[in-house]
Amino acid sequence: MFTPEDLSFYGALSAAQRETLRSSAREHTFERGARVYDGECTGLLLVQEGRLRAYTLSAEGREITLFRPEKGEVCLFSASCALRGISFPLFVTAETRARVLLVPADVYKRLSEESAAVGAFTAQLMAQRFSQAMWVLDEVLNKKFDARLAALLLKEEEYAGGKALKLTHEQLAAHLGTAREAVSRMLKYFEREGLVRLSRGSILLADREGLEALAKEN
């Protein structure tokens, strides 16, 4: 289990602060698709099981996936209300049923104000998420859309344990920050090339090697 004791700043806290942290942390389960954060304060989430998805919205209302925290990872975005400086729209949903340990935002905020180690942890985590978002930007600027979609399908197959993907074109579009139509068109092209087989509500990867080669292209 991923507990507050595993957080890098834990050792730097006083006994009272440790107690506050441990006693305030609550287990929560989010059902698949549930909203985890939409601007209303949640807190720092330690993912125990399942997967969350943090995304932003473009000016045109398109979703752009920024980060998909899994077991053993921390979701900082859900504590955005306790942080200052975040001025872009930010949402977190449960991509699968997810069990998390929640450190309430007010507790996290108070610890940040008291402890330099918590502040440093926040800054580092922010820098990491920033770095991940920069990779997204780089991909968008540089990779062709077919390569990005191929890479996403391979990643999703990994999540699905090798089974056919039960994903809508809408969901794929949200990960890539594009329109559903663009995804549908490219998937049809992939099908004609024998890379995937499409059926109602599912996508089967028919030629993994072909997709891998495509995903590597710029």
Binding residues among 68-97 for its own copies as defined by CB under 8 A: 83-88
Q: CA 23, 47, 86: angle at the middle one, nearest 5?
A: 90
Q: What's the half-sphere exposure (Cβ side, CA atoms, 13 Å) at 47?
A: 25
| Residues from 16 through 55 that contact its own copies (CB under 8 A) | none
Nearer to its own copies, 115 or 168 (CB): 115
For 104-147, give the DSSP string: EHHHHHHHHHH-HHHHHHHHHHHHHHHHHHHHHHHHHHHS-HHH
- Of the residues 41, 126, 160, 206, which one makes contact with its own copies according to CB under 8 A: 126
Q: Which stretch binds its own copies (CB under 8 A): 25-33, 43-51, 120-128, 146-154?
A: 120-128
Written as six digits, the tokens of 135 are: 């990779």
Q: Please, which residue, 83 or 164, has the CB nearer to its own copies?
A: 83
**Cβ proximity to its own copies, 126 vs 154, nearer residue:** 126
**Nearer of residues 75 and 196 to its own copies, judged by Cβ:** 75
- Per the DSSP assignment, residues forming a β-bridge with 99 are 29, 49
Give the nearest distance from C-beta 193 to its own copies in angstroms. 25
Choose between 26 and 144: whose C-beta lies nearer to its own copies: 144
Among 11, 40, 60, 200, binds its own copies (CB under 8 A): 60
- How far is Cα 134 from Cα 55, in angstroms, rounded to an integer? 14
Nearest to 24 by CA among 118, 97, 109, 115: 109
Nearer to its own copies, 140 or 164 (CB): 140
Least gap, CB of 8 to its own copies (angstroms): 10
| Among positions 1, 137, 204, 213, the unique one binding its own copies when judged by CB under 8 A | 137
Count of alpha carbons within 13 Å of 82, Cβ hemisphere only?
Answer: 25
Which contacts (CB < 8 Å, 24+ apart) does range 131-138 have?
132/66, 132/67, 133/66, 133/67, 136/64, 136/65, 136/66, 136/177
Nearest partner of 21 among 29, 13, 33, judged by Cα? 13
Minimum Å gap between C-beta 166 and its own copies is 26
| Contact residues for its own copies, defined by CB under 8 A | 56, 58-60, 62, 64, 83-88, 112-120, 122-131, 133-138, 140-142, 177-178, 218
